[in-house]
Structure 1
């Protein structure tokens, strides 16, 4: 069996990391594991296992005929059996399926605004879904949505999984050692960094030796500017640091002491799994599958979305109680290792592949 992961970019994001993780994990388990990037290469290219077959299309538009023909020729030459398309790459996968009736399609829905599904535009997706052999959804809300709105009959929730890559160590965090809060999230509005900044502003009133570190792609848009303006206007430059995308995620997390996500909407955020693998105590909002991953006041803390006062109290609770941090971090790490491991999720993926293949 030969399976190709199809993704638009290799920028550091949740869907992109999942595509790379799956391609790497499959390399030793099937005849051929492939990864095709359609539009933009990025930092994650360095994370691809050398045994994964890699193709970059450099696609310039939706109907870039040259790229479509190049990809179609590659699929035929390599005799690809299954295209596992992530996010918006479903459209190209559908074109290839129309040109090659023997190719099967698995679509992986990583839609991050699952709390606002009523605003999702899906007319093209619905048409294409009649060609999908299976759909993986990153949370249960998306699973139910796909069953109601799309044409594929085979849909299931597939939790993300993360892996530790401790080979890279190039980023050194600012601030005092032992007093760092990390937020691993691209600077997108759904991640709601502004609520986190408002919460942290209250934190530094009594704990000004602590620092906040924002790691994730900076799109240099109006949202990014709002974050930077808030930091400057509230004189937080010595306490809050923005790093952009970084390839050495695990190294960054090992320098951190509390992991936070303040999102308005989520699927199953990969950052939460990575916090667990790095043995961090966690705080997240009750959105998406966060409350499935974190058991409030048992292995972490959950707060309401867009509530900076509640978030600040949770952070302060951790800062002022190291024993609680250590207790929750230990319990959370055990939970992640046992329920969101590579082994369990790859086994579920292979079961679907084999059903399609046979």
Structure 2
């Protein structure tokens, strides 16, 4: 079995990390595992195993004949049998499927705005889905939506999984050890950093020494500017720190004490699983399939989205009780290791691949 993971970029986002994790994980289980970045490279390139075949297309437009030809030649030369396309890379994968009809085409839907599926564009996706052999989705809402809206009858829920990151320990978090709150999320509006900043601004004044650390890609857009302006306007520069994209996630989480996701919408966020893998006390909004990870109070605190008071209370609950933090982190780590482990997810993927091979 020879499988290519197809992803638009290698920036440190959830879908991108899943694509790299799959390529790496499958490299010891199949004849040959490959990964292709279509549009941009990024920090995650450093995380690709030496056992994984790699291709960068530098695709610059929707229909880029040079990129299509390059990918076509690579697939032929490497005798690739299965394309596992992630997120918006499905369009290029569909073109290749038309050229090589015997290819198995699997689409992995990481759509993070599962609370707003009624606003999702569908025309091109629905047409392309006629050529999909299978669709993986990352939460139950997407599963129902795909079965209703797409022209692919083979659809299954596939939870994300987290793996320990062994990259060199480069990032040293600022602030006092034992009093750090981490938010691992790219600067996108759906992640609602502003609500987290509002809550933290109410918390730190009576809990001196606690600091908030924001790790994620800065798109340098209006939303990122809003985050920076809030920090400046509220004189939080000595209490809130921005790091941008980082590759040494495990090292960063090992320096942290509370993990927070304040999102308005999610699929099944990889960062939530990474908090669990690191044994962090975790607070997350009840969006997407977050409730499947934090399913009871012992595993973490599940709160309503866009609710500053609820987030303040959750932060205070953990800040004021170190034993509760430690026990909650242990419970969530056990849950992630049991229910969201790499071996079980890879086995499910392999079974699906085999089912659709000609």
TM-score by shorter chain over 0.5 = yes
The answer for unaligned runs of 5 or more in structure 1 is: none
Residue 302 of structure 1 corresponds to 302
Aligned equivalent of 1:176: 176
State yes or no: 1:235 paired with 2:212. no
C-alpha distance in 1 between matches for 2:190 and 2:296: 22
- Aligned ranges 1:24-39 → 2 under 5 Å: 24-39=24-39
Structure 2 length-normalised TM: 0.99
Q: Measure how far apart 1:165 and its partner are.
A: 1.4
Matching of residues 203-214 of structure 1 within 5 Å: 203-214=203-214
SS in structure 2 of the partner of residue 298 of structure 1: helix
Match of 1:357 in 2: 357
Alignment of 1:1-358 (within 5 A): 1-358=1-358
SS at match of 1:205: helix
The count of corresponding residues between Structure 1 and Structure 2 is 358
Instruction: State the Cα distance separating 1:10 from its structure 2 match.
Output: 0.3
CA RMSD of aligned residues (A): 0.7
Cα pair 1:295 1:301 within 8 Å, conserved: no
SS at match of 2:298: coil
Superposed CA offset, 1:189-229 (max 9, x none): 00000000000011112112100000000001000010111
Unaligned runs of 5+ in 2: none
- Distance in 1 (CA, whole Å) between partners of 2:138 and 2:243 is 27
Q: Distance in 1 between matches of 2:212 and 2:167?
A: 24
Cα distance in 2, alignment partners of residues 298 and 278 from structure 1: 16
**Contact preservation (8 Å) 2:47, 2:167:** no
In 2, Cα distance between equivalents of 1:207 and 1:296: 27
What is the alpha-carbon distance in structure 2 between the residues aligned to residue 67 and residue 323 of structure 1? 54
Superposed structure 1 runs of 4+ greater than 3 Å apart: none
Q: Deviations over 1:16-37 (max 9, x none)?
A: 0000000000001111100001
Give the Cα separation in 1 of the matches to 2:63 and 2:95: 10
SS at match of 1:354: helix
